[in-house]
Amino acid sequence: MANKSKSAKKRVRQDVKRRLRNKSAISALKTKLKAYKASLANGSENKDELLRKVISAYDKAASKGIIHKRNAARNVSRISKLS
């Protein structure tokens, strides 16, 4: 790892913070998706609300640069087809 210069050390610290923040956001996104798929399997009444939450989470992740915008669009499209 390039830790020789002061700027390289700072970059490593920034990368760690960003990686943890992104990992948390992606994990939350997957949890919402799993809850939506479970509601589809159970025939739950609140599946429309969960779908809106999943789509919103994908859009937020794309706008923050956590996932690519085309990745979000593709996944939202696939999720929408499920219902």
Give 35-53 pLDDT, tens digit per residue: 999 999 998 888 999 999 9
Cβ contact 38:47 at 8 Å:
no
**pLDDT at res. 16:** 96
Distance CA 21, CA 15 (A): 10
Q: Which residue has the tokens 């640069």?
A: 65
Which tokens is 62 given?
């794309």
Distance CA 52, CA 61 (A): 14
**pLDDT at res. 45:** 85
Residue ranges covered by each domain of the chain: 33-83
Q: Which residues of the chain have pLDDT under 70?
A: 1-3
pTM across the whole model: 0.82
**pLDDT at res. 82:** 87
User: Which residue type occupies 61?
Assistant: A
Q: What angle do CA 17, 21, 22 make, to 5 degrees?
A: 115
**pLDDT at res. 80:** 93
